[in-house]
Each structure stands twice: as C-alpha cells, then as structure tokens.
Amino acid sequence: MWEIAAASRVLDVKPRYAYALWCRDFAATSIVARLGGRVVGYITGYLRPDAADTVFVWQVAVHEAARGRRMAATMLDELVERVGAAHLETTITADNAASIALFSGLAERHGADVERTELFGPAELGADHDPEILYRIGPLKTISNR
C-alpha cells in the first residue's frame, strides 16, 4: 500500500507503519485488490465514531499497471456492499477531477445524492494546502437492495 501511495505522486504518503496499523485495525472497512498475487489497489476507510451509519473513505489508490480496469469503482462498490453504511464520506480537492468522477459515479450507481461542503480549509491545513471538500453521498442503496 505504501509503495502504491508513494508512486501515485498525488496522495499524502504516510509512514509504512501507519498502513500496517490501518490493515490491522480497519480491515473490515478497507479493501485491498490483488492481481496475480500482487497488491495493485486499496481503499482505506473507517466508520465514523460519531455517525456509525457513515463510512469515511480516506485514500483510494490503484497501481499504474492496473489502471483502466474500473478497479477503483469496483473496490468502492465492494466496500459499500460489505459495510452496509447508509452514507459514504470522503474529501476531495477541487482540482482532483479523477476522484470527483469516481465518487460522482458511485453516487449515480447507488442512486444517492451528493452534498458538497468545505470540511477543512487554510485555517486547518495551512496556506499551502488546497481546501478539502467533503463529499457526503447517500443514502446509499446497495446492489442487493436496488
């Protein structure tokens, strides 16, 4: 996971230790995709402590060799099915067209609305970081409940 994040040159890369802890403590709300036995994609997420019906997606990453296979969308759909949460949240910067399309597509596939509000701006993240826009998607209809 760390290698994929570092190679992306887009994601905020955390220490390897953080990814190892994430896999241990949040395995039920995260996804790892393999191709030929090699990890080629992942989603890190967690249920919000103050909103148990909401899964927050922190990072979505797909290795360059696995792009173009709808892997990110498939992993997101699998996460929604597995967790069964009514809502999904994530943050996206305004310049990240790929993530905006990914999460807008999720909302469309699951018959859900999308609310957008600024979650963190310069006051929290500093002047050198673009504002993080909160995407709240829901209520989600799982594929089995459509």
Q: What are phi and psi of 12, to 5 degrees?
A: -75, 115
pLDDT greater than 70 at residue 97: yes
Q: What contacts 139, CB < 8 A, 6 or more positions away?
A: 86, 87, 112, 113
pLDDT greater than 90 at residue 104: yes
The CATH number that applies at residue 81 is 3.40.630.30
Q: How many domains does the chain have?
A: 1
Residue range 57-84, pLDDT digits in tens: 999 999 988 888 899 999 999 999 999 9
pLDDT value of residue 143: 54
The domain in which residue 24 lies consists of 2-145
pTM: 0.91
